[in-house]
Structure 1
């Protein structure tokens, strides 16, 4: 089977602008869970969730075909039961989330970072082909980012026993990722404060698959293709519905 390209998140060029956008959209993004210690609220430690109950407009920029677009919408709607947002799929290019579908790369801005992209610029790309067995999983993963979720393998409590030389070699050979790109997308742990408030979840749709040969000992995470219970729990916390 051909590789489905691993996702790289779109990093904001300006951390302060990222923080301001998140707080302007949803002041709760500044409320960091602190564990008894007085933690300095740095701009790097904030979440990027949209304001609850708002309408999120989703546009497709130059979608290759109606069936391709419809397949993406069908996958995106699998998130709907767990979020208190109104997803509105619009024609044209005026969307809060603007999706291109150009092979082969998969990437997305995280949550409110989408507001930092230029008006005609995409905020997400789904590069996995619609006939690929992992197409739905790729859409679920990228849209998880659009809703504000981070990569689960970077959870501060993941404790993955990486075989780093093997990882560098694999990602260079398969995807031409530099050492810096691997460090940033795989080994860098997220701030405890900004990571999901649920426990580390190896079944999360936001987790990279990790084959045994990239770890030390007997440790692997297989390809997750569905939204996990913990993913849904986090989304219900971020976007609570009235009781």
Structure 2
């Protein structure tokens, strides 16, 4: 798995009081299966109009900036913030990607000890964040860590701040068919995670009654790359570096801002494409994702069909040869 070592994913910090709400998915009713696209932990949502203070516990200049120049569909801000300090880059990302969509106020303050959200930059600590209002429940130390910097990871962690959960922990258990032994091995090798950390951040699901959203979104900023080799149906996920149309729609809907820009206008102005086109693409990918072997099945049917035709032709040829042999006149010597 050496080619997968560059994959980095965040740990989603859950306070102990909420951990029993994970991995409680026992039924798959049509109603439950309609949940979770940009998926929110409903108990952790902020009150509309809340002011969320944010402080930095360090400068952030010690962490590595990821080079995404060769990646596709990166956020346009990636180039814009490359010349800014990490702190100023984070402020710009929040002000241009989160603030326009929500009826919340983000205030960066000088003294982090007085802040609700306290961001550390520990390169050995990975990337993680408490979820939603859990930030108010931890009075000391960091409530978010960025062990590396890029725009997508920053948006992802602030997605957790809004109450968003990891997309791959969709309560619809049929979404990702994990090969658990391989996942545990991969997470240990690439992330240095224990079995319990891996189960909490990748394998376990949330209680459907605790989540608000719609269907699984393969383009969500809250979804990380997982190779197909980690699944039993050979269907992995892709790395996403920017907000999807579904992300924008559900964030805007959850934290509706009366005088805010519409999701459609925001998406068009931000990414130069329509919100609906992103939603349509998500649906198309989701259909393929939930039927990962459809292409394989089609090819298999074609191969079997061709082989069947060839077999029939071969049988016809043999029959004709046999008949001709029987029809050859016999010459008898008298």
Does the TM-score normalized on the shorter chain lie above 0.5? yes
Comparing both structures, which one devotes a greater share of its residues to helix?
2
- The answer to whether the 8 A contact 2:127-2:145 is kept is yes
DSSP 3-state at the match of 1:193:
helix
Distance (whole Å) between structure 2 residues aligned to residue 227 and residue 182 of structure 1: 25
Match of 1:91 in 2: 110
5+ residue gaps in structure 1? 17-34, 37-44
**Matching residue within 251, 255, 259 for 1:235:** 251
CA offset at residue 5 of structure 1?
A: 3.4
TM-score (norm 1): 0.79
Match of 2:51 in 1: 55
1:106 partnered with 2:127:
yes
Match of 2:88 in 1: 70
The structure-2 alpha-carbon separation of the partners of 1:236 and 1:148, relative to structure 1 and needing over 3 Å to count, comes to: same
Match of 1:115 in 2: 136
CA offset at residue 175 of structure 1?
A: 1.9
| Alignment of structure 1 residues 1-243 onto 2, 5 Å | 3=6, 5-15=8-18, 46-65=42-61, 67-77=85-95, 78-93=97-112, 94-104=114-124, 105-118=126-139, 120-128=140-148, 130=149, 135-157=150-172, 159-242=175-258
CA offset at residue 142 of structure 1?
A: 0.6
CA offset at residue 72 of structure 1?
A: 1.7
- The answer to whether the 8 A contact 1:96-1:114 is kept is yes
CA offset at residue 156 of structure 1?
A: 1.0
DSSP 3-state at the match of 1:57:
strand
Distance (whole Å) between structure 2 residues aligned to residue 64 and residue 136 of structure 1: 14
Distance (whole Å) between structure 2 residues aligned to residue 9 and residue 183 of structure 1: 11
DSSP 3-state at the match of 2:93:
helix
- The answer to whether the 8 A contact 1:117-1:123 is kept is yes
Distance (whole Å) between structure 1 residues aligned to residue 11 and residue 185 of structure 2: 18
CA RMSD of aligned residues (A): 2.4
Q: What CA deviation, in whole Å up to 9, does each residue of 1:94-132 have, x standing for no partner? A: 2121111121311111010011112x411100111x4xx
Distance (whole Å) between structure 2 residues aligned to residue 138 and residue 204 of structure 1: 12
Q: Which moved more, 1:138-147 or 1:72-81?
A: 72-81
Q: What CA deviation, in whole Å up to 9, does each residue of 1:16-41 have, x standing for no partner? A: 9xxxxxxxxxxxxxxxxxx69xxxxx
5+ residue gaps in structure 2? 20-30, 33-40, 62-83, 260-334
Distance (whole Å) between structure 2 residues aligned to residue 102 and residue 176 of structure 1: 15
Distance (whole Å) between structure 1 residues aligned to residue 182 and residue 163 of structure 2: 30
Aligned pairs, number: 212
Distance (whole Å) between structure 1 residues aligned to residue 207 and residue 195 of structure 2: 21
TM-score (norm 2): 0.59
CA offset at residue 3 of structure 1?
A: 2.9
